[in-house]
Structure 1
């Protein structure tokens, strides 16, 4: 039986919530800062973000971002420039939101590869860094721990701005120098795409989501945006051991887990060994191939609640397979989200075919190195393209 998605539905908003979101969108544009500002009005003291032992409500998160932006405007920035967040956790989130409040571009970078950013990021950018300030950067710098302290210092009210900052996501740089991808994942198309992701996954305001991906990755950032939009709580837990994640799931009452299959494999291995499997209603895998073997193990531990997401840094998540689809076809990544498209190179748009996959999302079109098959609108991944595949396509 074909699974039907409620893609034509819209995020239900009360008149008060709709007004708060509309006001924020008018001031900040369709950005992460707008979602956070609206969330502060809509959800107030409800917990928005948990990192380690620290937690921020929706109101506190936006208040800290406003204070940090005001401090930078008065004490650090002598003219508009980009903000590069080469840090983790709350300092990254606040840096991105402060940049959005100032209407500046925000670059998100892996702090564990910050030396690779030399000659990549703008020379006059404000760099928010872990540890000591790097000698290679000529522009202003702020330590991540100092940014957290600056966000708590009272500041005079900051005037508005007409600029709308962009997000710049970096490739991992595992095969070379990290490359920037200027994107607007929460632009007009991106908002529709984000709303579709919320609908497909079914994130509710009552959910607590354990996020295993770093927030500087597109996977982690899009999850943050989805929780800010819906009022759910995000417990960010990258680079932690499975035992710690299980403890957080239990202590924080997590109802959903999102991560890459490698992280989920380690998590389920711990659960199999310990016998401790806190109750969940949804597991969302993405950013790596999901194997049938891992699906079987996850189902044995938690039941048929696994979803499989697919996308790229440039496009964001463009397709998500439902639990029913994953149970029947573990390699399937489902059907495209609203505002996105998928296709096979060399074949008519919307047709069933097999070959190299192309994607469109967040206003960008990307030709991937993935081989896939589209059947009745559903994409199944078949591995990576080889030179022989390209020769066959050319003939």
Structure 2
């Protein structure tokens, strides 16, 4: 389904998108998308890739939606990529054309493929018929190592995640909401959970290109934003701004995803604003939402909730044994094959999250490798446990697991302890080689106070809360590298 066309047909005069200097109704946006799509059919053949290197702007929305309507494949890319990063992804996806802003065009190393500005002026053509099973978008995700990989998402997978979210009662977003679109649109969270949700409900989106705590609060108040879609760093920054409670008066729903929010930060935000954050968990490969506290206990500290309606989820140990399962992908499906139900569970050991649902990707570009298995299950590489209520708690990535004398050490556990120290602003823990134990945890710590605590002081603090084999060596650093969605880039720290 073409969500923009449907929104224009159902609510033509309702505001679709608002920026600092423009506002478009759904009818006006649809007209721009139509013009762009008819131009794009002349620039790329059916199913060819169109790289989009634009910030959070009307140009991005028009180009992205135009690519989908034209039956081509959108490849949204971070405008902040280096020339090398852009060159790699554009070559890997074999883009037929690049639509880019001036600053990004200056980083392109050759005229192949051709690069065009976002006004997409020129000859136009007829639009093709499109199918729900057609590839819609390639979203490049770096994972834990190596070059980025393109996750292949069909139109059906993107739409399925909206239908799954739709089934939550009460709904998280509705047609009369005004949604803050501050997350990067080249990321699955900003693209489908943010922009896609706005189009799905024919609601109103408020676009912000670069996040600034004070400026964004002014926009929220001015535009009477009712739903914020953000990451932990945004809520942490807002909670420390003067006047935050008044600025967020209109907000009824605060959604957090892309990375776990520390319970202390969630509590700080709640105390400052009176709002409870809805936590979610997902991946680029799942379009992206898998679980949310909106279907369980919205206020439980540290929880990522339960699977969305239509998502089946299992926890599996290293031997392949199923520790726990919840959810179904259809009303007739029964996953309780092993008599492992939420009601029976008294809590589980950590296990890898394995999922099934219509929102899953079709594997990685170009051949679909490493996608769901023959039964539709896909192993996420993330580790979680279920508590006695059947609510999930994220532990860590399998690839980041540290083995100390054969014992499992999860970096996130150590990071939670360090981050709770009043003198610590942020920490990141990685495994490093150790002659005696094989590996040991090593923590990079950014201090929140001056003078900073010493590594010895922090180790004593950790010793009061962690088993001896989990105690990290500690190194103080001025800052940590972050991705566009606020995740620490551990691969860059350890390199």
When normalised by structure 2's length, the TM-score is: 0.64
Check whether the contact 1:69–1:98 (CA below 8 A) recurs between aligned residues.
Answer: yes
Which structure 2 residue ranges, 5 or more long, are not aligned? 326-339, 362-377, 409-495
Which of 301, 304, 322 does residue 330 from structure 1 map onto? Answer: 301
Q: Counterparts of 2:61 and 2:404 in 1: how far apart (Å)?
A: 42
Paired position in structure 2 for 1:62: 30
Paired position in structure 2 for 1:356: 351
Q: Does 1:345 align with 2:316?
A: yes
Which of 71, 81, 86 does residue 48 from structure 2 map onto? Answer: 81
Question: How many angstroms does 1:302 deviate by?
Answer: 2.5
Question: How many angstroms does 1:226 deviate by?
Answer: 1.1
CA-based RMSD: 2.9
Question: How many angstroms does 1:286 deviate by?
Answer: 0.6
Map residues 139-218 of structure 1 onto 2, 5 A cutoff: 139-144=113-118, 146-147=119-120, 150=121, 158-162=126-130, 164-171=134-141, 176-184=146-154, 186-187=155-156, 190-200=158-168, 201-218=171-188
- Summarize deviations over 1:279-334 as a string: whole Å, max 9, x none: 3111101111111111212212322431001001111101110397242x221111
Paired position in structure 2 for 1:299: 270
Check whether the contact 1:373–1:382 (CA below 8 A) recurs between aligned residues.
Answer: no
Check whether the contact 2:51–2:95 (CA below 8 A) recurs between aligned residues.
Answer: no
- Summarize deviations over 1:328-354 as a string: whole Å, max 9, x none: x22111111122222212342513533
Q: Does 1:264 align with 2:264?
A: no
Q: Counterparts of 1:174 and 1:384 in 2: how far apart (Å)?
A: 9
1:296 to 1:38, Cα distance in 2 relative to 1, 3 A? same
1:336 to 1:273, Cα distance in 2 relative to 1, 3 A? closer
1:86 to 1:159, Cα distance in 2 relative to 1, 3 A? closer
Which of 83, 102, 120 does residue 89 from structure 2 map onto? Answer: 120
Q: Counterparts of 1:80 and 1:363 in 2: how far apart (Å)?
A: 20
- Summarize deviations over 1:196-233 as a string: whole Å, max 9, x none: 32443521111101122111111111221111111211
Q: Counterparts of 2:54 and 2:244 in 1: how far apart (Å)?
A: 34
Query: Rg larger in 1 or in 2?
Result: 2
Q: Counterparts of 1:282 and 1:80 in 2: how far apart (Å)?
A: 37
1:300 to 1:358, Cα distance in 2 relative to 1, 3 A? same
Which of 366, 372, 382 does residue 379 from structure 2 map onto? Answer: 366
- Summarize deviations over 1:222-279 as a string: whole Å, max 9, x none: 2211111112111122422111111111111101111001111111211468974433
Q: Counterparts of 1:287 and 1:120 in 2: how far apart (Å)?
A: 22
Q: Does 1:382 align with 2:351?
A: no
Which of 285, 295, 317 does residue 314 from structure 1 map onto? Answer: 285
Query: Equivalent residue of 2:309, what SS?
Result: coil
Q: Counterparts of 1:390 and 1:377 in 2: how far apart (Å)?
A: 32
Check whether the contact 1:124–1:138 (CA below 8 A) recurs between aligned residues.
Answer: no
Check whether the contact 1:86–1:114 (CA below 8 A) recurs between aligned residues.
Answer: no
Q: Counterparts of 1:330 and 1:73 in 2: how far apart (Å)?
A: 49
Map residues 234-313 of structure 1 onto 2, 5 A cutoff: 234-271=205-242, 276-313=247-284
Paired position in structure 1 for 2:204: 233
- Summarize deviations over 1:357-386 as a string: whole Å, max 9, x none: 324342342322334335454211234552
Check whether the contact 1:246–1:278 (CA below 8 A) recurs between aligned residues.
Answer: no
Check whether the contact 1:371–1:384 (CA below 8 A) recurs between aligned residues.
Answer: no
Which structure 1 residue ranges, 5 or more long, are not aligned? 1-24, 26-33
Q: Counterparts of 2:269 and 2:295 in 1: how far apart (Å)?
A: 12
> Which of the pair has the greater relative contact order for Cα pairs under 8 Å at 6+ separation?
1
Q: Does 1:50 align with 2:18?
A: yes
Count of residue pairs brought into register by the alignment: 351
Query: Equivalent residue of 2:17, what SS?
Result: strand
Q: Counterparts of 1:383 and 1:127 in 2: how far apart (Å)?
A: 36
Question: How many angstroms does 1:111 deviate by?
Answer: 1.2
When normalised by structure 1's length, the TM-score is: 0.79
Query: Equivalent residue of 1:382, what SS?
Result: strand
- Summarize deviations over 1:122-161 as a string: whole Å, max 9, x none: 34521111213512451121123x34xx3xx9x8773433
Paired position in structure 2 for 1:72: 40
